Amino acid sequence: MKIKELLEKLTFVKERERTFNIYINPSMQERRNLNKEIDYTAIRFIVDLKEKKIYMFSSEILHRTVARDLGIPYSEEQFTKTSRYFFDIADLENGKVLMSSMSFGHNKELVYDKKILQKHKWLDKYLEWY
């Protein structure tokens, strides 16, 4: 099965006997649904800059678990300014994904700079900066 076919079929991850939804380029309504599903106000997400996809899911699941199930490479060495993937965490309030100017970020050797994601205008539909 090709990765593209897998991504179209994959909508959840099982972790510790719980099933969690993964939202791909979620609409505002889907983000509100995610708000209702999570136990905390934080969510995790993975951005694929090449495919212009953002995967959002509960903060109760680790990035590496979702990356593994999606077939996305995950290693500390890959997190650079030129990386295709970004792994991050943000607050989710009433469907709005709120990013601070200094977010958690996994880009270890960088002081996480919001300009890296802000230059990709398609993400404006999903992320709000404060």
Radius of gyration over every alpha carbon of the chain, rounded to an integer in angstroms: 14
Main-chain phi, psi angles of 66, to 5 degrees: -65, -45
**How are beta strands 96-99 and 127-129 bridged, if at all?**
parallel
**How many angstroms separate the CA atoms of 2 and 25, rounded?**
20
Q: What is the pLDDT of residues 21-60, one digit of tens each?
A: 899 999 999 999 998 888 778 899 999 999 999 999 998 8
Task: Return the domain boundaries, the chain.
Answer: 3-129
CA-to-CA distance for 109 and 106, rounded, in angstroms? 9
Residue type for position 116: I
Q: pTM, whole model, 2 decimals? A: 0.78
What mean pLDDT is reported for the chain? 77
Give the tens place of pLDDT for each residue, 70-112: 999 887 666 666 678 888 888 888 888 888 655 545 444 444 5
Alpha carbon of residue 24 to chain centroid: 9
